[in-house]
Amino acid sequence: MNAHIYRYFKRDISWLSFNYRVLMEAKNESLPIYERIKFLSIYSSNLEEFYKVRVSGYHSSILKSIERDESEEEALQILEQINEEVTAQEREYNLIFNEMILPELERNNIVLYPTEKVEPFHRAFVEKFFNEEVFPFLQPMIVQKKDIHSFILDGRIYQAISLVKKKKKEKNAAHAEYTYAIMKIPYTKVPRFIQLPSVGGKYYVMFIDDIIRANLQSVFPGYHVGECYAIRISRDADFSLEGENQKTIAEKILHKVRKRKIGAVTRFQYDRNMPAYFLNYLCQSYEIEDEELLASDRYLNMADLAKFPNPVGTTLTRSYPPPLRIPVLENNNAILRVLRKQDLLLNFPYQSFDYLLRFLMQAAFDPKVLEIKVTQYRVAENSAVINSLISAAKNGKKVTVFVELKARFDEENNYFTSELMQQAGIKIIYSLPGLKVHAKLAYIRRRSNDAENPLKGYAYLSTGNFNEKTARIYSDTGLLTSNKAFIQDIDEIFSVLEGKAHTRAFKHLLVAQFNMVPAIYAMIEREIQHVREGKLGYIILKMNSLEDKGMLDALYRASEAGVKIDLIIRGVCCLIPNQAYSKNIRITRIVDGYLEHSRVWYFHNDGAENVYLASADWMERNLHRRIESAFPILSEPLKRELIGMLKIQLADNQSAVWVDENLNNVFKHDDNPPLRAQEATYRYLERLGMEN
């Protein structure tokens, strides 16, 4: 079968299928109500970033050839398909919120007012709160077509209000002309949700939107207030810095980040109850195009639900078990000494991130440590990792940190963190021109007592960032090792990042831009060859996204040859299952309390199993426009540990779904005992710890 007849899901339509799976968790009545509210928040936050970054490309008159190869007509069709799907999803979102979440809150004595009309016993409080806490920060602005008008800020909720001058209405109410105003909700001054006094054992909460609506007449004393509807604009937040050099990239990035706030419109959300004449007036005034319009509900920016008040404590929330301790590291505090004898896996958030912090902090204070090198992609604010590196520099170590300034939405934080490190004497290397550096590496060089090997290297390689905050909610795996061949390969990667000559081939690590892509093809082809020889061919691939067409075609060819393939893909998956050329491929998606973020590649290899951990998803950008690393697990016990975790995920019949040929999320409920992968993984690692 020739590759030209293979079909693929569109990347962004596939992503919407993933985000719908997030929304499905809000319907899951087995979850505590505040966990369900959390998923509503995540869904909205995901969608906002999607419109800022992905949809922005479809609105451009010149499509970004780096990201897409569609014609303008095809892009418009996809944009229409996106908006149609999002509209349907948001309609369901509002049904979930209004018909499932709010009644469940009420059953637990928490009442969220769905309107500005409040009970008599709250009127005095609402009026007083408005006058004292809200009114001083309101800035209403009249909207006039074909005139200078206010600029609508990105991501902020505005209230659009129709007004009629009192005298005009009194003279001739039938022909009174509307005046239109918009007013930004002052979210930096007041929270989105306001707790009102409890009454009769019930807790009351109100949107700040409605507190303002209830008091609009005092904002516009010379007018009769007509109707009030919420509006919100999402603006293009994507930008490219291809070809920029080291000297100018930091300044260029800061400049472009600040211009995000005034980027082109990608979405104009409005309350679907707004009359057509009102919407048309706003569209003409602010030059909103039809394809930018997206009808929504009364309340916009529901990502704010992450801050919904919980007046009753933890009884309505989901409890997560404490991170596991690793016995070998508990019994021997000196991590570097342990690594001289064995490799170790760190599985977050199931196991404690403290071990990585200890690894870096011990290096910072060890008098024999000479040098530390680290890559940083997304840095936590007030990062303990950064503090360890600063301590190392102050203790006389040579510290080098590669900072990826092009990490989207973390550019400013990364820049200011790098400035802090530079002030402490750390050598900072900024982004490479034309490439993002996504590899997750830390490297320590230490003096040794071994006369033959006077310098000893230690390393940490990971599927996730050096970020202690995300490590609490992202599932990632890292390897601590002193394997000499690994150390040499990492040394070579840093030579590339520092602009030095690349002097040798990578022996164990697979590195994008060098040997990663051909090595993946070779391992897939090897499974095909095993099948041709009458043996078993089997591949398991766990990652966030699968989109690269070369890889898709290779997997299709393997399926046609008879190789069994299990894909565990959380997000974008452009491979279409259940086709003649993909009949041996199954796609599993897991959405649960932790974000599935690790990348694990398994190749059966006729029983001589190969297992890789990687920073890279199989996307065109990761494989061809980034520096990524994948590393084999050579220790047999650690290999068995990872294979065991993959088997648990494939056995999940509670939080896992199949992704079918129509991008539906089909729950994997079967006759086996209930198994939820994340809970089972915790128990599995706990048991391994006790056995060791």
Q: How far is Cα 60 from Cα 345, in angstroms, rounded to an integer?
A: 45
Q: How far is Cα 213 from Cα 220, in angstroms, rounded to an integer?
A: 12
Q: Are 249 and 277 in contact (CB under 8 A)?
A: no
Question: What separation, in Å, do the N-terminal and C-terminal C-alpha atoms of the chain show?
Answer: 49
Q: In terms of DSSP bridges, do strands 474-481 and 110-112 run parallel, antiparallel, or are they unpaired?
A: unpaired
Contacts with 22 (C-beta within 8 Å, 6 or more apart), sequence order: 39, 42, 43, 46, 591
Q: How far is Cα 75 from Cα 120, in angstroms, rounded to an integer?
A: 53
Q: What is the 3-state secondary structure (H, E, C) of 517-573?
A: HHHHHHHHHHHHHHHHCCCCCEEEEEECCECCHHHHHHHHHHHHHCCEEEEEECCCE
Count of CB atoms situated within 10 Å of the CB of 273: 12
- In angstroms, how far is CA 199 from the centroid of its own chain? 40
Within 214-297, residue ranges assigned H as helices are 216-219, 249-259, 276-286
266's enclosing H/E stretch is strand 265-271
Structure tokens at 573: 């998956």
Burial class for 493, CB neighbours closer than 10 Å (0-12, 13-18, 19+): buried
Count of CB atoms situated within 10 Å of the CB of 422: 14
Evaluate the omega torsion of the peptide bond into residue 309 and state whether it is cis, within 30 degrees of 0.
Answer: no
Q: How far is Cα 42 from Cα 51, in angstroms, rounded to an integer?
A: 14
Q: Are 290 and 248 in contact (CB under 8 A)?
A: no
Cα angle 27, 33, 36; round to 5: 45
| φ and ψ of 448, to 5 deg | -120, 155
Helix axes 384-394, 411-423, angle to 10 degrees: 20
- Reduced to 3 states (helix: H, G, I; strand: E, B; else coil), residue 343 is coil
Q: How far is Cα 508 from Cα 514, in angstroms, rounded to an integer?
A: 12
Q: Are 245 and 433 in contact (CB under 8 A)?
A: yes
575-581's contacts with Cβ under 8 Å and 24+ in sequence apart are 575/8, 575/9, 575/546, 576/7, 576/8, 576/9, 576/661, 577/658, 577/659, 577/660, 577/661, 578/660, 578/661, 579/7, 579/661, 580/1, 581/1, 581/5, 581/6, 581/556
Catalytic machinery residues: 438
Within 260-348, residue ranges assigned H as helices are 276-286, 327-331, 335-339
Cα angle 95, 101, 104; round to 5: 135
